[in-house]
Structure 1
């Protein structure tokens, strides 16, 4: 519910109290019930927002972790092939092939290690930035639903059940509290959206990561040639 609508409900409620402030309405009274429903609805809405945000955060962090794990797996495969190549230089089947491809493989070795490190660092930087910036916002969003629900106690909404109490003060406390929390949630969501946008697939494919991927494909092709050379 938008803050403007909450304010509108407050104005209606104040008019309602002014005209009915001497009357007791059944067991609880419609003013109390409507305020209780308002708090419950806003609390439920905050819980829904948190669930959706939590899911988005999980999906993006999972995507980032997959990107890091995939990169590490690729580099382990590269290291295994390099170890195989340089460790087999004195075998008969590898001797001539080693001399033919030695300089080329050495170049791949340097470039792949360098680009792997740069790519890994860029992914780590994205994760660090995410953790540093989004955690405080997430903590607020996680507790917003309960904080709204607590307004029933802190604003003493039970006073709306009967006449003789400051109904206008209770309503003002309730609606201003909801407005304050909603405004803070809006700011949190905007920041969360900006940070999550940085974790899109496009941003995970940094220039260094793309260069590493292309370089690895070239290395795989060359190593296939080396294996074919050794077989022949």
Structure 2
């Protein structure tokens, strides 16, 4: 693992160095070309963050929508159950209540249990999402600024004067950008691995599938109760 990371860091360093050489050869003065290199790399980091941020937001909305849909369905179930038991002693509902009392009581217990399990699974997905993705995304959010800060950290103003150590400034700049790019690559890889796990299929857990199926069965039974009352 250390060898792989070292290799990736070296490749990142060489890529930045190669790009910086092209800019330096083309732009001429070291200060202006180094300033341009930092600006371009900062812009690239900012674009990567924007793309990742949109993906993170979309997946977070996906999880929240699944939770909202579940809550809405359970609220509908609760309202129907309340209506059913509130009318048990009325003339219209009396006989129908007796016919379906045990069946509805069974649905009541099962739906509450399966709702709780499904809700817990979705909460767990969201918690994992917030702990892992958001933590890694925080670095992506500040990467562009970290690259921009290299102008001061590496003191590129020294490139304006021939009396200073230009090699040290350039090495600081290239190594700094390479290190930040490597950290960004690791964060991006982890973020996208987790985001891929949050597909619609992953959100449709066995417990949630069981709840939705039971809810549909209850809807059919309740429709039968309403028909009974209308007779």
When normalised by structure 1's length, the TM-score is 0.89
Residue in 2 that maps onto 1:231: 230
Residue in 1 that maps onto 2:198: 199
Task: Deviation per CA, 1:4-40: give whole Å up to 9, x if none.
Answer: 32122456789x7xxxxxxxxxxx9522222111100
Residues 13 and 43 (structure 1), Cα distance of their counterparts in 2 relative to 1, 3 Å cut: closer
Question: Higher Cα Rg: structure 1 or 2?
Answer: 1
Aligned-pair distance for 1:52?
0.9
Residue in 2 that maps onto 1:101: 100
Separation in structure 2 between the aligned mates of residue 172 and residue 85 of structure 1, nearest angstrom? 76
| Residues 13 and 171, structure 1, Cα contact 8 Å, conserved in 2 | no
Residue in 2 that maps onto 1:8: 18
Residue in 1 that maps onto 2:36: 37
Aligned-pair distance for 1:3?
4.3
Separation in structure 2 between the aligned mates of residue 166 and residue 12 of structure 1, nearest angstrom? 21
2:79 aligned with 1:80: yes
RMSD across aligned positions (CA): 2.0
Separation in structure 2 between the aligned mates of residue 33 and residue 11 of structure 1, nearest angstrom? 13
Aligned-pair distance for 1:78?
0.1
Separation in structure 2 between the aligned mates of residue 88 and residue 132 of structure 1, nearest angstrom? 47
Runs of 5+ in structure 2 lacking a partner?
1-10
Aligned-pair distance for 1:105?
0.9
| Residues 45 and 140, structure 2, Cα contact 8 Å, conserved in 1 | yes
| Residues 32 and 158, structure 1, Cα contact 8 Å, conserved in 2 | yes
- After the TM superposition, which residues 211-230 of structure 1 pair with which residues of structure 2 at under 5 Å, given as runs? 211-230=210-229
Residue in 2 that maps onto 1:174: 173
Q: Runs ≥4 in structure 1, deviation > 3 angstroms?
A: 1-4, 9-14
Separation in structure 1 between the aligned mates of residue 213 and residue 205 of structure 2, nearest angstrom? 12
Runs of 5+ in structure 1 lacking a partner?
17-27
Separation in structure 2 between the aligned mates of residue 215 and residue 4 of structure 1, nearest angstrom? 59
When normalised by structure 2's length, the TM-score is 0.90
Residue in 1 that maps onto 2:134: 135
SS of the aligned residue for 2:168 comes to helix
| Residues 23 and 33, structure 2, Cα contact 8 Å, conserved in 1 | no
Aligned-pair distance for 1:64?
0.9
